[in-house]
Amino acid sequence: MAQTVKMRRSSTQGAVPTTSNISLGEIAINTYDGRLFTLKNDGSASVVEFMSTAGGTFSGDVSFEGGVTVKGDTTNGSGSITLNCEYNSHGVSIQGPPHSAGASYTLVLPNDVGTDGQVLTTDGTGSLSFTTVSSGGGGGSVDFDPVTASLIF
């Protein structure tokens, strides 16, 4: 039995189909925004977007094969990845260097988590490892005298 896929089309900026104007098996395209939609019904009908070309949120586990590039732009700055807490109220970000740095490099994380008191160090080629920091010698102190602009040992 032949299947027919029906297309719905809109050229209105921001137009998104509703469950009342798209049927199961239909695909709706917004040619102004370049967005693609379909109807999903897992007991409750809803319109889903295949892939947003600008912004958007993934829900659940997402897997990628190969590399992932997070691009920056002149409005938002360098690309970044933010790892939020379970309530999405705060998080930690890793951001690429600015364009002016002209920097392109890869950091390779170590195979383990290190031990208490160790710090993450690089070998200068991008390979990172955990290292125990030695306390060094000396034991003296250094102060700065702002009046004479000199260091006091």
In the structure, what pLDDT confidence band is assigned to residue 59 with cuts at 50, 70 and 90? confident
Q: What percent of the chain has pLDDT over 90?
A: 46
Tell me how far apart the terminal alpha carbons of the chain are, to the nearest angstrom: 90
**Average pLDDT over every residue of 121-132:** 93
CB atoms within 10 A of CB 17: 20
How many helices (H) and strands (E) the chain has is answered by: 0, 10
> What CA–CA distance (Å, rounded) separates 131 from 109?
13
Least confident of 32-36, 47-51, 90-94, 120-124: 47-51
| Cα-based torsion angle of the residue sequence 27, 32, 35, 36 in order, rounded to the nearest 10 degrees | 10
> What CA–CA distance (Å, rounded) separates 50 from 103?
34
- Give residue 70's pLDDT: 87
**Average pLDDT over every residue of 116-140:** 85
SS3 content of the chain, % helix, strand, coil (to 5): 0, 35, 65
The mean pLDDT of the chain is 85
**Average pLDDT over every residue of 43-54:** 80
The angle at the Cα of 146, spanning 141 to 151, to the nearest 5 degrees, equals 35
In the structure, what pLDDT confidence band is assigned to residue 54 with cuts at 50, 70 and 90? low
Q: Check whether 92 has a pLDDT greater than 80.
A: yes
Sign, CA dihedral 70-85-61-65, equals positive
Q: pTM for the complete prediction? A: 0.52
DSSP state of 30: E
Closest CA to 78 of 102, 113, 52: 102
Q: Check whether 64 has a pLDDT greater than 90.
A: no
